[in-house]
């Protein structure tokens, strides 16, 4: 098999001295890019695989031994004959004089074989690429058909990972968007192998799971087919226990729907549904609690910006509001008698335990 090989001005390549007309044999295992005598099938490919300068010499060669290749462009052999030196033709052969690279049909390219414009990489049909073989634009990675990718083989946009068909992924092999994990078909996942959205866990089919292997949604536990479970292996919903097929269970292997709940550490006739529909819950939902809130930069005062310089980096700051026992006591004292009675009318109401849980003295 004949081909072409580039050399330094003294006909050396990687420290090995060659001479025209001689045959050389490599003793050992040959592998493209690793070992053996390397050469290109086509003359023009030498400009991609060798550092070219005015002093670079190119010779026609013949592989007369074993041959291996991984791309049918670059080859290696264990026995090579240096046939004759070839005069380097028009190095540029560009359609536009604005290119400093070779064989470009586009404009303002410093790379080679580009049909697009302003590429410093090679074989790009898109524009403004510093990577190679991109059909999209502004890619620093390789083989992207999308735009603004620093990773490789992306068909989406703004990816720093590889092989993404979605957008804004820092992980790999995502078909969804805004994933920092890998192999997600959903969006906004920080975990891996999710087909749902907004999961921080792995292998979830549902959405908003922080646990793993859930087919339901909003689970912090694992292996749940139901939703909003903090326990594991639940097929029902809102279970904090394990292996429950019913709902609202905190135990194990329960099938009841909406079981009775304890109130003030004693059994009651209420279910969680009774609590959710009660006036008591409406009143207690208004009880002030400590919380944290993100304040966007656009709503910050000058004083807040001075006290929280981190807003320049994160676009705002986290404001923490601390509620004291005195705040809660004032809230209770300001309630109407009807609202107070709704709370005190709970089954098993206990003044001391109410104070222990809320800090409010009745």
- The pLDDT assigned to 89 comes to 58
DSSP annotation of 299:
G
- The pLDDT assigned to 190 comes to 78
Buried b (16+ CB within 10 A) or exposed e, 279-305: ebeebeeebeeeeeeebeeeebeeeee
- The pLDDT assigned to 93 comes to 59
- The pLDDT assigned to 202 comes to 82
- The pLDDT assigned to 51 comes to 74
Q: How confident is the model at residue 37 (pLDDT cuts 50, 70, 90)?
A: very high
For residues 301 and 219, which has the higher predicted lDDT (pLDDT)? 301
Do residues 225 and 214 lie in contact, with contact meaning Cβ atoms separated by under 8 Å? Answer: yes
Smallest Cα–Cα separation from 38: which of 26, 54, 22, 27?
Answer: 26
Helix extents (H) in the chain: 46-49, 272-276, 279-284, 302-307, 311-314, 325-333, 337-344, 351-358
pTM value > 0.85: no
Q: Is the pLDDT of residue 28 over 80?
A: yes
- Cβ atoms within 10 Å, residue 15: 6
Q: Is the pLDDT of residue 199 over 70?
A: yes
Q: Rounded mean pLDDT of 132-138?
A: 79
Q: How confident is the model at residue 239 (pLDDT cuts 50, 70, 90)?
A: confident
The set of residues, in sequence order, having a beta carbon less than 8 Å from that of 28 and lying 6+ positions away, is 35, 36, 78
What's the distance, Cα to Cα, between the start and end of the chain in Å? 97
pLDDT tens track for 49-74: 777 777 889 999 999 999 999 888 89
- The pLDDT assigned to 81 comes to 97
Cα separation of 180 and 4, whole Å? 44
For residues 278 and 54, which has the higher predicted lDDT (pLDDT)? 278
DSSP annotation of 16:
E
Boundaries of every domain in the chain: 2-86, 174-257
Q: Rounded mean pLDDT of 270-283?
A: 92
Q: Chain-wide mean pLDDT for the chain?
A: 86
- The pLDDT assigned to 92 comes to 56
pLDDT tens track for 75-108: 999 999 999 999 865 555 566 667 777 677 778 8
pLDDT tens track for 320-345: 888 999 999 999 999 999 999 999 99
The highest-confidence range among 12-21, 105-114, 184-193, by mean pLDDT, is: 12-21
- Cβ atoms within 10 Å, residue 144: 33
The set of residues, in sequence order, having a beta carbon less than 8 Å from that of 2 and lying 6+ positions away, is 60, 61, 62, 63, 83
Cα separation of 265 and 176, whole Å? 47
For residues 52 and 218, which has the higher predicted lDDT (pLDDT)? 218
């Amino acid at each position: 098999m004949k081909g072409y090989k580039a050399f330094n001005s003294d006909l050396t390549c990687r420290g090995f001295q060659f001479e025209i007309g001689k045959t050389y044999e490599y003793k050992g295992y040959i592998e493209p890019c690793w070992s053996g005598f390397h050469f290109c099938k086509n003359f023009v490919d030498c400009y991609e695989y060798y550092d070219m300068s005015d002093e670079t010499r190119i010779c026609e060669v013949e592989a007369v031994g074993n041959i291996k290749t991984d791309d049918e462009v670059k080859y290696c052999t264990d026995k090579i004959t240096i046939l004759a030196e070839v005069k380097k033709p028009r190095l540029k052969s560009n359609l536009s004089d604005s290119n400093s690279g070779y064989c470009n049909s586009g404009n303002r390219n410093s790379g080679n074989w580009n049909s697009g414009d302003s590429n410093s990489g090679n074989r790009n049909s898109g524009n403004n690429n510093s990577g190679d073989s991109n059909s999209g634009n502004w890619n620093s990675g390789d083989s992207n058909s999308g735009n603004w990718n620093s990773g490789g083989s992306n068909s989406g946009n703004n990816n720093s990972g590889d092989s993404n068909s979605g957008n804004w992924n820092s992980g790999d092999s995502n078909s969804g968007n805004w994933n920092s994990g890998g192999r997600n078909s959903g969006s906004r996942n920080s975990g891996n192998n999710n087909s749902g959205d907004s999961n921080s866990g792995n292998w979830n089919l549902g959405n908003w799971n922080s646990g793993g292997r859930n087919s339901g949604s909003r689970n912090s536990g694992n292996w749940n087919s139901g939703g909003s479970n903090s326990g594991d292996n639940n097929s029902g919903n809102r279970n904090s226990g394990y292996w429950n097929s019913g709902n609202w269970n905190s135990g194990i292997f329960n099938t009841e729907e909406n079981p009775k709940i304890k109130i003030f550490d004693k059994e009651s006739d209420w279910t969680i549904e009774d609590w959710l529909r009660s006036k008591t819950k409406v009143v207690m939902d208004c009880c002030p609690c400590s919380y944290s809130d993100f304040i966007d930069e656009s709503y910050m005062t000058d004083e807040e910006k001075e006290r929280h310089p981190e807003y320049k980096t994160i676009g705002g700051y986290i404001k923490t509001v601390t509620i004291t026992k005195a705040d809660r006591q004032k809230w209770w004292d300001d309630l109407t008698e009807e609202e107070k009675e709704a709370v005190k009318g709970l089954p098993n109401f206990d003044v001391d335990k109410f104070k222990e849980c809320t800090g409010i003295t009745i």
